[in-house]
Amino acid sequence: MLKVKQKDTSFEGKVVLVTGAAGGIGRAAALAFGRAGASVVVADTSVDGGHATAAMIVEAGGKALFVHTNVTRAAEVEALIDKTVAMYGRLDCAFNNAGVEEESVPLGDADEAAFDRIVNVNIKGAWLCMKYEIRQMLKQGGGAIVNTASVAGLIGAPTQPIYAATKHAVVGLTKTAAAEYARDGIRINSVCPGVINTPMMARALKREPQREDRLRKEHPIGRFGEPAEIANAALWLCSEQSSFVTGHQLAVDGGLTAM
């Protein structure tokens, strides 16, 4: 019998915000939400990359809006939520994914400017996004939020001390907010990727190509992950399929944290 592939409509009528969506994991997630029928708000500091992601969604037959946003600035995050609601009427799901990496140095050699930059984006950015998303979701009576933490939010990450601290903080924000807002119908979870083939990882391996072999071996599955594999996890955590899951840290890491 001929099998006709059904169109994925699991997010039809839903409004989804993705930060850090100009490339890498965020772009893969924005495209996946768009393919599943969501109206997608693409947020990033990169204007060209953000417009390109939104254009890809529209070209594939979906709905998307790019909003230039620096997630470290409260006024810009508030405006992002306001524009989302003005355009699409509500906010059902948010994937707070914008983040920055750390150059490899042991803790004693890390400098103050790097600390401030990484903490600002990875912790303050995630907190500000959650704050304004939750305000909107409370008005509507519910929603789902997924934050991008990392395996470095679950275990130590030698030579990445500040990054690891920020990702542990994302886990702390996720667990606490999940407990605070569970009865308001807002589920909040984190996804914790292992090493994923993105521009961030390409930059890190360009600086230190000698790390690649060791990093690959840390993944029992024998390879790095692809952005679409994290996008799949984010979609599941935002969907009704995970309706009893909140305050969870989902490792998507090829077995790295199983060792």
Ligand X SMILES: NC(=O)c1ccc[n+]([C@@H]2O[C@H](COP(=O)([O-])OP(=O)(O)OC[C@H]3O[C@@H](n4cnc5c(N)ncnc54)[C@H](O)[C@@H]3O)[C@@H](O)[C@H]2O)c1
Instruction: Give the one residue of 98, 145, 231, 252 binding ligand X; rule: CB under 6 A.
Output: 98
Smaller CB separation from ligand X, 19 or 246: 19
Q: Does 256 bind ligand X (CB under 6 A)?
A: no
| Contact stretch for ligand X (CB under 6 A) within 66-74, 103-111, 137-145, 240-248 | 66-74
Q: Does 25 bind ligand X (CB under 6 A)?
A: yes
Q: Does 22 bind ligand X (CB under 6 A)?
A: yes
Given candidates 34, 37, 62, 125, which one binds ligand X under the rule CB under 6 A? 125
Pick between residue 20 and residue 34 the one whose CB is nearest to ligand X: 20
239 binds ligand X (CB under 6 A): no
Nearest approach, Cβ of 71 to ligand X (angstroms)? 4
Please select the residue that binds ligand X; options are 23, 34, 62, 143, rule is CB under 6 A: 23
Judged by CB under 6 A, the residue of 32, 81, 121, 238 near ligand X is 121
**Contact yes or no for 235/175 (Cβ under 8 A):** no
Distances (CA, A) of 158 to 52, 103, 106, 128, 200: 35, 12, 7, 28, 18
CA atoms within 13 A on the CB side of 69: 35
Residues 148-187 that bind ligand X (CB under 6 A): 148, 150
Assess whether 163 carries a catalytic annotation. Answer: yes
Stretch that binds ligand X, among 83-91, 174-182, 196-204, 244-252 (CB under 6 A): 196-204
Minimal distance, residue 256 CB to ligand X, in Å: 10
Contact footprint for ligand X (CB under 6 A): 19-20, 22-26, 44-46, 49, 69-72, 97-100, 121, 125, 148, 150, 193, 195-196, 198-201
